[in-house]
């Protein structure tokens, strides 16, 4: 563990918070200043995020960097320690003890999975501020809440303390509720905001209960049977010297999980270990936010009701928060549970992929199409997690970034069309390529990404996921009492290909009906081309899709290095 | 430059030119100005008019620059192709030796995925054909798109299309091939829908892309499966490596394992389905006829030089995989081979019947493309790997020629129509086509064009005869004959059913091909003009006319001459002239397959270097008979007695009710809509109404209602019990709120936020102050 001074990550969290607080105290009429502070803060955060991303990239790829170290470990053979590898993978760390008696610390850092998410959040933050440039109603409050939202999202990605993770998780939900209820689409906003908040809070409460249970289980383990493990870890520097047996540190939970702290049976039922019991609560509790079937229904309503910037951050980043937390707090801390439960949960992800696409196919409302497409695409992320192998999970990590940028781009496009046409009814639009060529091209690029076109990031993500599914097919067997199912991952991957076909169908249908065809020059006589800020949004979100699509080494090795500790925890090679 | 000196790096530069041209045009030179959208007259009829709306029209300067940049890109590709071919010819033995280099691209697990380029015999033949055909199409486009307001965008997209095709050709692995394949799919979507204001155009674009996507996804699954067994997608490592082939042929697949098929068969069929979509084979052929909604150069690109050829080319590349486990030259078929033979032969015949009754000049060609691709597919299925490649090349030349000649006809007809409108008697012109929109592509409106457009006529005739397989003098004869000869050999020796089927169906299809080609030529060019437009049809003078004529002349040379590289050695007279020692084409192409010595050790693998079929009179006589017979019949019915204006096509009465069936494409489109589209829409609607909104949401709503009810209950309790105690607290909050109100506007959100902000500031203070105090 490195010595921890001030970390750039701390700046990333506090800049938006400070900007938000400052904005709240400004004069409401001084719109330029509000916007100026907003965009400056977002740009600063994006710049710092880029620094983190490429800094971490260097940390991974440098001579003797993380990849080399992991390679050496693999070549040396023997038992791999996931906790050790995770500790080794963390960079940009800062740790301050917060509540010593409870083992809570302000501990932040990034690994290969979270570094791309940090970059994604920065991109979407800037795009969100720019696209909200012309909000008329209470711009000051909007901007401030948006800043708090950004800070909360960042916090989840960089938290290395489970308590801190929960803290930021809730911090993100609260402004989200206000933004949707206050600035959303009048017809739906109160219902949608309430629905969203209830779903997510209920999910996180289950997860929190699970986390508390883990806290006590791990503490008991380290004071009892695992005392030696604990001392050894402190001596090796995996854990900081001032840690107690009872701690919220994710590192410490990982260590406990690896040494069987969660393997004891509970409720007096043989075979029902602690990990197996709590995994569904942890994974699904956060998985709600990733839109896992059947807990996805908050998301399309929420996306549609939210103002454009919020839809962007909501679908682009917040759903990744769910998938990320499910990985970090679910799979990483309860790997035994993952091995038991993911083999059946993979069916839910299949439903996600096909079902979301089918519903998107039937929508008349432009925004609902994109909303349900997110449900479908996030299903691929969960499917990637469910492969539990390096290839598939790396693909899922890539899909998180790819989908984040793509769907934010989509919502930006929808917003730009809606702001000018004042309708989202797909059949009544048409020919917008003529008047908004930039937006049309952006939609086509996003659409091609979403249908997995090679040369764009969607393919780079989907290919490894399918690859991983195929490889997992021979390894994973579903055991359910006497009932046994094997080799079914290959069937699932074939069925999920159906989702990709339907995706192509609805993307092309929307592109055809909105951007192609005759333009109704009389009805949309006041529709004009977009302004500069909108163009920046389109470029900011569209360019990464192409860059990663053409040159995946800019992201794939990093994510892979972040997945390797998990593979070690899951007992793979 | 190192890049130029190392022959192994040279192939990288081939696709670079067009790709760079795409970037340059789309990012830099694609400048447009806004012009009032009602000046309809300036554009051609493919653009709508928008009264009162300003629409972007490409700037004259950037029009010229885009053309130059696009053209330079293709010329660069051509030059680098030739340099590469020269380097390849320097190799001691092309085949076992190749030009190849690769770079690490994507990490998948412990090994990095490499992409690279490969020049082997299969690439060589494509590098001879593709750049020339593409360059001709580009030159032709200069004239054809000269008046289009989006000319720059056209050149950008078609450059990308060409770049993707060349990437696919030089790719050394299946994944890079798939990349080129899919980018071409996207380009075809954008180009078929290039005139996106037309509903028929964007619908055709959607249809093309969706149909091919269905197939591509299956293909992707095949690629993924192949990769998970072999751990590589490199062509050399799989297709030229007997161990890998043997492994694939003897592995039991993880799905359909009970059907006693090998993994090679499952993967093979998955990959073939990709081509069934891309090369428009039954049942996924429906997109190709609609695809002619795009500008004609795009049709030439799709039908000849690029898209559909790519499908067959990749099957040629993957042939050893399909044949592993069987031996087609001894009548032992594998599942993928049988699949290809049946699908190909059936498609060849089916499409030929539909081509018989088409009235649209491009539609006849579109169906003939499907049919000819069926020939190639069937040839691959019966193991006639080299004949398929040969036909691919000759077909590309004469089909590009035919499409561009047809485009010239259409252009000339439009020209004539304008002329008739401006100078002729308006009332007459209106009366002539009954007030309906004039269709410049309908052959019933043509006739007599050989007089006004002689160059187009002669080149079209050459292309048509080549398509019909006119013996000896055309390229189409030699390649088609070879397919039949290969089929006959195995049929004769081993009585193989698949070979018999292929032979019979292809012979009938070839007869129909000759007939409908003659019908088309006659309807278009023979007799007297059947409309005012046809009377005045011509290409005009100047650059437009020149750029649209030159490519036709060049391609006509290839449509005649390209066949002579593949004359069988023992063919009477001509064998001795053109192939004194060996059949040049076969001699080159066979080296793309694993060597006999290498495969001999594996029982599951056939000898890929089987001997060429000896000369046999039956297939040659058949080739002569069907080609000449079909042409003669067409000549008799259509050329000798040309159709007059207002007359009904004799084929209508001849075919009777069958005519309507054929004209409606066997109602396949309607059937697909009824069987696939409608049910899936219905299913989606049910999912929304019943499952998503019905069960999942109403469950939530019931819970919400229960909680509301509980809340009301507690509220009532609250009134009785806690009110007394609670009274004090609201008063306190009220006064606290009053204090806050002085500070701010008094929204509840802000109270909460202030609390939050306070917490955060405390946290921040902690962080900053503790920086030094932190322990490591």
- A394–B contact, CB cutoff 8 A: yes
Q: Mean pLDDT throughout B369-388? A: 89
Confidence of residue A496 (pLDDT cuts 50, 70, 90): confident
State the Cα–Cα distance between residues A343 and A476, nearest whole angstrom. 7
Indicate the average pLDDT of chain B. 80
Q: Mean pLDDT throughout A35-42? A: 90
- B327–A contact, CB cutoff 8 A: no
Residue in B46, B767, B772 to test binding to A, most A beta-carbons within 10 Å: B767
Q: Which residue has the tokens 């080794």?
A: A88
> Where does B231-306 have alpha helices with state H?
235-239, 242-250, 263-278, 287-290, 296-300
Confidence of residue A154 (pLDDT cuts 50, 70, 90): very high
Please answer whether residues A335 and A570 qualify as being in contact, where contact means their C-beta atoms are separated by less than 8 angstroms. yes
Instruction: Give pTM, 2 decimals.
Output: 0.83
Convert the pLDDT of each residue in B247-266 to its tens digit. 888 887 766 656 677 888 88
For residue B228, give the chain A residue with the closest CA: A471
Angle at Cα A353 formed by Cα A350 and Cα A354, nearest 5°? 90
Confidence of residue A424 (pLDDT cuts 50, 70, 90): confident
DSSP state string for A305-360: HS-HHHHHHIIIIIHHHHHHHIIIIIITT-HHHHHHHHHHHHHHHHHHHHHHHHHH
For residue B748, give the chain A residue with the closest CA: A178
Q: Report the candidate in B204, B169, B176 with the shortest Cα–Cα distance to residue B188.
A: B204
Convert the pLDDT of each residue in A186-201 to its tens digit. 777 878 888 888 788 8
DSSP state string for A535-551: HHHHHHHHHHHHHHHH-
Percent of chain A residues past pLDDT 70, beyond the cut: 99
Highest mean pLDDT among A396-410, B52-66, B86-100: A396-410
Q: Report the candidate in B377, B409, B381, B408 with the shortest Cα–Cα distance to residue B392.
A: B377
Considering only the beta carbons, identify the residue of B202, B696, B766 that sits closest to A297. B696
- A458–B contact, CB cutoff 8 A: no
The pLDDT value given to residue B746? 46
DSSP state string for B547-573: HHHHHHHHHHHHHHHGGGGG--TTSTT
More confident residue, B713 or A213: A213
Convert the pLDDT of each residue in A471-483 to its tens digit. 888 777 777 777 7
Confidence of residue A120 (pLDDT cuts 50, 70, 90): very high
Beta bridge mates, B36: B54
DSSP state string for B570-633: TSTTHHHHH-SSS-HHHHHHGGGSPPHHHHTT-TTS--SSPPPPPP-HHHHHHHHHHHHHHHHH
For residue B199, give the chain A residue with the closest CA: A517
State the Cα–Cα distance between residues B9 and B612, nearest whole angstrom. 34
Burial (0-12, 13-18, 19+ Cβ within 10 Å), B621: exposed
Tokens read off for A93: 């760390």
Tokens read off for A505: 């169908």
CA distance B196 to chain A (A): 5
- A472–B contact, CB cutoff 8 A: no
Beta bridge mates, A485: A478
Residue B255: its chain A contacts at CB < 8 A?
A: 487, 490-491, 494
Interface contact flag, A106 B107, Cβ < 8 Å: no
The DSSP call for residue B251 is P
User: Domain ranges in chain A?
Assistant: 8-569
pLDDT at B629 over 60: yes
Considering only the beta carbons, identify the residue of A98, A460, A519 that sits closest to B50. A519
Neighbouring residues of B245: CB distance < 8 A, sequence distance ≥ 6: B238, B239, B264, B320, B321, B324, B594, B599, B602, B604, B605
Residue B696: its chain A contacts at CB < 8 A?
A: 294, 297
Q: Report the candidate in B235, B296, B225, B286 with the shortest Cα–Cα distance to residue B261.
A: B225
For residue B762, give the chain A residue with the closest CA: A98
Tokens read off for B73: 């890109």
The pLDDT value given to residue B721? 64
CA distance B195 to chain A (A): 9
Interface contact flag, A459 B182, Cβ < 8 Å: yes
The pLDDT value given to residue B374? 92
- B110–A contact, CB cutoff 8 A: yes
- B684–A contact, CB cutoff 8 A: yes
Lowest mean pLDDT among A66-80, B231-245, B373-387, B686-700: B686-700
3-state secondary structure of A479: strand
pLDDT at B699 over 50: yes
Confidence of residue B75 (pLDDT cuts 50, 70, 90): very high
CA distance B107 to chain A (A): 6
Q: Mean pLDDT throughout A214-236? A: 85
pLDDT at B775 over 90: no
Please answer whether residues A415 and A311 qualify as being in contact, where contact means their C-beta atoms are separated by less than 8 angstroms. yes
Tokens read off for A12: 């990333």
Considering only the beta carbons, identify the residue of A195, A454, A497 that sits closest to B217. A497
State the Cα–Cα distance between residues A540 and A113, nearest whole angstrom. 21
The pLDDT value given to residue B257? 58
Tokens read off for B373: 């691709």
Q: Other CB atoms closer than 10 Å to residue B568's CB: what's the count?
A: 22
The pLDDT value given to residue B726? 56
Q: Output phi, psi for A108, to 5 deg.
A: -120, 160
B 272-291 → A contacts, CB under 8 A: none
Helices (H) and strands (E) in chain B, counts: 35, 4
- A195–B contact, CB cutoff 8 A: yes
- B702–A contact, CB cutoff 8 A: no
Percent of chain A residues past pLDDT 90, beyond the cut: 16
- B48–A contact, CB cutoff 8 A: yes
Q: Which residue has the tokens 């993994």?
A: B263
> Where are the extended beta strands (E) located within B109-152?
111-119
Q: Report the candidate in B451, B475, B445 with the shortest Cα–Cα distance to residue B463.
A: B475
- A344–B contact, CB cutoff 8 A: no
Convert the pLDDT of each residue in A81-107 to its tens digit. 888 888 888 888 888 888 888 888 888
Q: Output phi, psi for A93, to 5 deg.
A: -85, 150
State the Cα–Cα distance between residues A31 and A37, nearest whole angstrom. 10
Complex ipTM tops 0.90: no
More confident residue, B480 or B95: B480
State the Cα–Cα distance between residues B61 and B127, nearest whole angstrom. 33
3-state secondary structure of B586: helix
Residue A431: its chain B contacts at CB < 8 A?
A: 48, 196-197
Interface contact flag, B224 A491, Cβ < 8 Å: no
Indicate the average pLDDT of chain A. 85
CA torsion B516-B518-B524-B525 (nearest 10°) is 180
Convert the pLDDT of each residue in B148-207 to its tens digit. 778 888 888 899 999 999 999 998 888 889 888 888 888 888 888 888 878 888 888 888
The pLDDT value given to residue B724? 55
State the Cα–Cα distance between residues A350 and A347, nearest whole angstrom. 5
For residue A435, give the chain B residue with the closest CA: B55
Q: Mean pLDDT throughout B744-752? A: 56
Confidence of residue A398 (pLDDT cuts 50, 70, 90): very high
CA dihedral sign of residues B726, B728, B733, B738: positive
Tokens read off for B60: 């004259």
Convert the pLDDT of each residue in A299-322 to its tens digit. 888 888 888 888 888 888 988 999
């Amino acid at each position: 563990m490195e010595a921890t001074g001030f970390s750039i990550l701390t700046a990333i969290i506090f800049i938006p918070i400070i900007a938000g607080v400052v904005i709240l105290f400004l004069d409401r009429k001084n719109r330029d200043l509000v916007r100026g502070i907003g965009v400056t803060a977002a740009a600063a955060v994006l710049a710092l995020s880029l620094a983190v991303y490429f800094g971490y990239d260097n940390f991974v790829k440098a001579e003797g960097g993380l990849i080399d170290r992991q390679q050496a470990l693999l070549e040396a053979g023997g038992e791999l320690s996931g906790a050790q590898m995770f500790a080794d993978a963390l960079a940009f760390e800062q740790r301050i003890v917060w509540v010593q008696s409870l083992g809570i610390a302000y501990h932040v850092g990034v690994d290969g999975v979270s570094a791309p998410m940090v970059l994604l959040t920065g991109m979407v933050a800037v795009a969100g501020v720019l696209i909200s440039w012309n909000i008329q109603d209470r711009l000051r409050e909007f901007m401030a809440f948006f800043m708090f939202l950004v800070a909360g999202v960042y916090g989840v990605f960089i938290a290395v303390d489970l308590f801190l993770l929960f803290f930021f998780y809730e911090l993100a939900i609260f402004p989200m509720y206000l933004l949707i209820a206050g600035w959303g689409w009048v017809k739906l906003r109160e219902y949608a905001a309430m629905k969203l908040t209830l779903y997510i809070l209920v999910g996180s409460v289950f997860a929190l209960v699970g986390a508390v249970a883990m806290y006590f289980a791990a503490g008991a383990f380290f004071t009892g049977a695992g005392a030696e493990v604990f001392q050894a870890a402190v001596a090796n520097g995996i854990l900081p010297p001032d840690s107690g047996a009872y701690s919220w540190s994710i590192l410490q939970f990982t260590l406990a999980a690896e040494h069987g702290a969660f393997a004891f049976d509970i409720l007096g039922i043989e075979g029902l270990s602690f990990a197996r019991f709590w995994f569904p609560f942890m994974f699904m509790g956060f998985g709600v936010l990733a839109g896992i079937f059947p807990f996805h229904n908050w998301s399309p309503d929420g996306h549609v009701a939210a103002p454009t910037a919020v839809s962007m951050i909501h679908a682009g980043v917040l759903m990744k928060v769910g998938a990320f937390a499910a990985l970090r707090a679910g799979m990483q801390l309860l790997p035994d549970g993952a091995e038991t439960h993911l083999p059946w949960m993979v069916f839910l992800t299949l439903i996600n992929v096909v079902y979301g696409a089918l519903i998107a196919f039937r929508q008349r409302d432009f925004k609902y199409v994109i909303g349900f497409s997110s449900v479908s695409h996030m299903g691929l992320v969960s499917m990637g997690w469910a492969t539990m192998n390096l290839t598939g999970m790396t693909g899922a990590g890539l899909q998180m970034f790819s989908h984040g940028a793509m769907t934010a781009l989509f919502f930006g496009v929808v917003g730009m069309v809606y702001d000018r046409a004042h309708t989202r009814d797909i059949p009544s639009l048409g020919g917008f390529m003529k008047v908004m060529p930039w937006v049309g091209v952006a939609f086509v690029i996003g659409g091609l990404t979403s249908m997995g076109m090679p040369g764009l990031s969607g393919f780079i993500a989907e290919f490894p996921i399918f690859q991983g599914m195929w490889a997992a097919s021979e390894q994973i067997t579903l055991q359910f009492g006497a009932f046994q199912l094997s080799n079914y991952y290959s069937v699932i991957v074939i069925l999920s290909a159906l989702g990709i076909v339907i995706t192509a169908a609805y993307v092309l249908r929307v592109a055809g009906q909105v951007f192609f065809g005759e333009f109704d020059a009389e009805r949309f006589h006041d529709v004009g081309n977009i302004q500069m800020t909108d163009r920046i949004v389109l470029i900011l979100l569209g360019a990464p899709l192409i860059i990663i699509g053409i040159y995946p080494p800019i992201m794939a090795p990093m994510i892979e290095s972040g997945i390797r500790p998990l593979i070690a925890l899951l007992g793979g090679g | 430059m190192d890049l130029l000196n190392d022959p192994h790096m040279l192939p990288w530069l081939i696709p670079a030119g067009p790709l760079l041209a795409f970037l340059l045009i789309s990012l830099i030179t694609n400048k447009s100005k806004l012009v009032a959208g009602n000046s309809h007259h300036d554009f051609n009829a493919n653009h709508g008019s928008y009264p009162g709306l300003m629409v972007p029209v490409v700037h004259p300067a950037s029009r010229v620059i885009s053309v130059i940049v696009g053209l330079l890109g293709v010329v660069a590709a051509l030059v680098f192709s030739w340099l590469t071919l020269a380097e390849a010819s320097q190799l001691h033995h092309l085949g076992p030796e190749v030009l190849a280099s690769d770079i690490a691209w994507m990490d998948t697990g412990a090994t990095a995925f490499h992409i690279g380029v490969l020049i082997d015999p299969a690439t060589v033949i494509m590098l001879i054909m593709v750049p020339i055909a593409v360059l001709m199409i580009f030159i032709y486009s200069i004239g054809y798109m000269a008046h289009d307001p989006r000319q720059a965008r056209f050149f950008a997209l078609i450059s990308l299309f060409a770049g993707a095709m060349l990437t696919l050709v030089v790719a050394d692995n299946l994944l890079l091939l798939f990349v080129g394949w899919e980018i071409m799919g996207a380009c075809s979507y954008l180009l078929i829908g290039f005139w996106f204001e037309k509903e028929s155009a964007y619908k055709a674009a959607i249809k093309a892309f969706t149909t091919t996507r269905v197939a591509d996804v299956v293909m992707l699954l095949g690629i993924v499966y192949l990769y998970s067994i072999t751990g590589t997608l490199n062509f050399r490592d799989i297709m030229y490596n007997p161990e890998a082939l043997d492994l694939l042929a003897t592995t039991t697949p993880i799905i359909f394992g009970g059907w006693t098929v090998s993994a090679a068969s499952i993967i093979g069929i998955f990959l073939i389905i990709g081509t069934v979509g891309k090369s428009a084979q039954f049942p996924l052929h429906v997109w190709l006829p609609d695809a002619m909604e795009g500008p004609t150069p795009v049709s030439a690109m799709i039908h000849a030089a690029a898209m559909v050829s790519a499908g067959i080319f990749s099957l040629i590349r993957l042939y050893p995989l399909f044949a592993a486990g069987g031996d087609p030259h001894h009548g032992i078929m594998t599942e993928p081979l049988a699949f290809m033979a049946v699908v190909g032969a059936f498609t060849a015949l089916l499409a030929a019947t539909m081509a018989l009754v088409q009235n649209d000049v491009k539609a006849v060609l579109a169906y003939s493309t499907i049919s000819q691709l069926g020939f190639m597919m069937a040839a691959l299925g019966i193991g006639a790997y080299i004949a398929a490649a040969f036909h691919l090349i000759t077909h590309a030349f004469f089909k590009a020629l035919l499409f561009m000649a047809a485009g010239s006809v259409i252009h000339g007809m439009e020209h004539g129509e304008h002329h008739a409108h401006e100078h002729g008697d308006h009332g007459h012109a209106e009366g002539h086509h009954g007030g309906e929109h004039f269709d410049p592509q309908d052959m019933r409106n043509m006739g007599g064009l050989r007089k006004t457009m002689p160059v187009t006529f002669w080149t079209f005739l050459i292309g048509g005869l080549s398509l019909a397989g006119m013996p000896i003098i055309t390229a189409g004869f030699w390649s088609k004959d070879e397919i039949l000869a290969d089929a006959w050999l195995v049929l004769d020796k081993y009585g193989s059913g698949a070979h018999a089927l292929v032979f019979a169906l292809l012979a009938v299809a070839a007869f129909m091909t000759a007939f409908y080609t003659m019908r088309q030529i006659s309807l278009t060019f023979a007799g007297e003009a059947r409309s005012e437009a046809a009377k005045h049809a011509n290409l005009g003078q100047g650059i437009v006319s020149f750029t649209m004529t030159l490519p036709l002349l060049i391609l006509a040379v290839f449509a005649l001459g390209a066949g002579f590289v593949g004359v069988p050695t023992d063919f009477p007279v001509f064998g001795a002239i053109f192939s004194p020692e060996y059949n040049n084409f076969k001699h080159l192409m066979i080296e793309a397959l694993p060597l006999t010595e290498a495969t001999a050790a594996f029982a599951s693998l056939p000898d890929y270097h089987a001997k060429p079929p000896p000369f046999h009179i039956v297939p040659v006589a058949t080739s002569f008979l069907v080609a000449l017979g079909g042409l003669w019949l067409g000549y008799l019915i259509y050329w000798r007695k040309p159709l007059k204006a207002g007359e009904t096509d004799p084929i209508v009465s001849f075919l009777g009710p069958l005519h309507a069936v054929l004209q409606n494409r066997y109602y396949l489109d309607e059937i697909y809509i009824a069987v696939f589209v409608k049910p899936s829409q219905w299913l989606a609607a049910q999912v929304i109404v019943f499952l998503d909104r019905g069960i999942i949401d109403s469950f939530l709503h019931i819970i919400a209602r229960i909680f509301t009810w509980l809340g009301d209950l507690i509220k009532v309790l609250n009134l009785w019990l806690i009110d007394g105690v609670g009274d004090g607290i609201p008063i306190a909050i009220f006064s606290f709120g009053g204090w806050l109100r002085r500070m701010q506007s008094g929204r509840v959100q802000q109270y909460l936020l202030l609390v939050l902000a306070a917490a955060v500031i405390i946290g921040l203070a902690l962080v900053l102050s503790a920086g030094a105090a932190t322990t490591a």
